[in-house]
Amino acid sequence: MITIQEATTKSELTEFIKFPFSLYKNNKNWVPPLIADELETFDKSKNPAFEKAEAYFYIAKRNHKIVGRIVAIINWSEVNEQQKKKVRFGWFDVIDDLDVTKALLEKVYELGRKNNLEYVEGPMGFSNLDKVGVLTEGFDELGTMITWYNHPYYAAHFENLGYIKEKEYIESKFPFSNVKPEFFEKANDLVKRRYQLSPLNFKSTKEVMPHVDKMFDLFNKSYASLSSFVAISDTEKEFFKKKYINFINPEYIKFVEDKDHNIVAFSIVMPSFSEAIQKAKGKLFPFGFLHLLKAKKQSKDVLFYLIGVHPDYQNKAVTAIIFKEYYETFKEKGIINCFRTPELADNAASINLWKHFNTVVHKRRCTFRKEL
């Protein structure tokens, strides 16, 4: 018999977070979350996402043993402002048993019907900066700290329950040796002169911090046209600033300014923490933080996390300035491999940015949808 329990206390949420540690115990490509970080993400008094979203955490048990988990989510900004009558689900993990998946998803349906919503979509988080999508290709590739990993049977479960693919995301990689500066050096010089632009680089996190709010403002403007986008609030800016900035080498944050020092483009690249987090086993203390610190300084793999360009400067080759700056930084750091985090497969403009680097799609993931 399957029972569904709502996790509300810290100990229950910790149990919720730890379930994948047993599910993927012997999987060399699964990257665990940092337990303390997940607890903070789920803390309704700390995560500002809950100012415009509500979420319920469910654990499935059989014979007193956890066999699955799910979060049922409503993003009210999405529902009320964008008129998308959608209930989300995320942080979905389950044993290979369709009955368990069905029982967990019933809790999502209950929440949707209670609030007169029309369809369910997932897996996805509370906001656009959370993880998204179930992996459909690339199970033999190492995961990252900013994506979910899952077993191949997840997608089959959704399809067997009448779900259809809603959004597809691709992840690509390329060796740094593929980067030829002649592809962007000429454009870099031309764009800087034509639009009176200049790069802004950093040597310390302290130097970055005064610019972070403006970066998030530009993020909101850059992605506003995407149908799935929900803007980041001021309180969320503070939360993400605390959550992510210290993980990023300041040299890996690049801005482009106009002559009046307004930011017109930005990019964030992260060192790969995958192997370090595997060694830490989800815990920063007593020694986990040392693995992360070493990776931050020495990792030869990097992840392109975000790139944003002001709408007035899109399609004007401003990214040539960013690529030129990264080329110099990566050459100095001895970077070997470059990875791109999930991007919508139909975002032709974004995909076109990388056409000269001979990228290889090594993972695919998607969200699934079902009418209520």
Which residue(s) pair with 87 in the sheet? 120
Which residues face 66 on adjacent strands?
Answer: 61
Burial of 177 (0-12, 13-18, 19+ CB in 10 A): exposed
- At 349 the pLDDT is 80
Residue 334 class from Cβ within 10 Å (0-12 exposed, 13-18 middle, 19+ buried)? exposed
CATH number listed for the domain at residues 175-362? 3.40.630.30
DSSP 132: B
**What does the pLDDT read at residue 286?**
86
Lowest-pLDDT choice from 161-175, 226-240, 271-285, 300-314: 226-240
pLDDT tens digits along 63-106:
999 999 999 999 999 999 889 999 999 999 999 999 999 999 99
Q: Looking at the predicted structure, is the pLDDT value of residue 227 above 70?
A: no
Q: Rounded CA gap, 9 and 18, in Å?
A: 14
Of residues 213 and 17, which shows the higher confidence score? 17
Distance CA 127, CA 193 (A): 37
User: CATH number of the domain at 2-173, please?
Assistant: 3.40.630.30
Q: What is the predicted pLDDT for the residue at 337?
A: 97
Q: Whole-model pTM?
A: 0.93
- Could you tell me the residue ranges of all domains in the chain? 2-173, 175-362
Beta strand residue intervals within the chain, DSSP E: 2-7, 53-62, 65-75, 86-94, 119-122, 134-137, 164-175, 198-200, 253-257, 263-271, 301-309, 337-344, 360-371
Same topology between domain 2-173 and domain 175-362: yes
Residue 370 confidence (pLDDT) above 80: yes
269-282 residue pLDDT tens: 999 999 999 999 99
As a whole number, mean pLDDT of residues 231-242 equals 83
Q: What is the pLDDT, as a whole number, of residue 234?
A: 85
pLDDT band at 111 (very low <50, low <70, confident <90, very high): very high
Q: With a cut of 80, say whether residue 246 has pLDDT above it.
A: no
When pLDDT is averaged across residues 226-244 and rounded to a whole number, the result is: 79
| Contact (Cβ atoms closer than 8 angstroms) between residue 274 and residue 145 | yes
Cα Rg of the chain, angstroms: 21
Q: What is the mean pLDDT of the chain?
A: 93
Model confidence over 344-353: pLDDT tens digits? 998 888 888 8
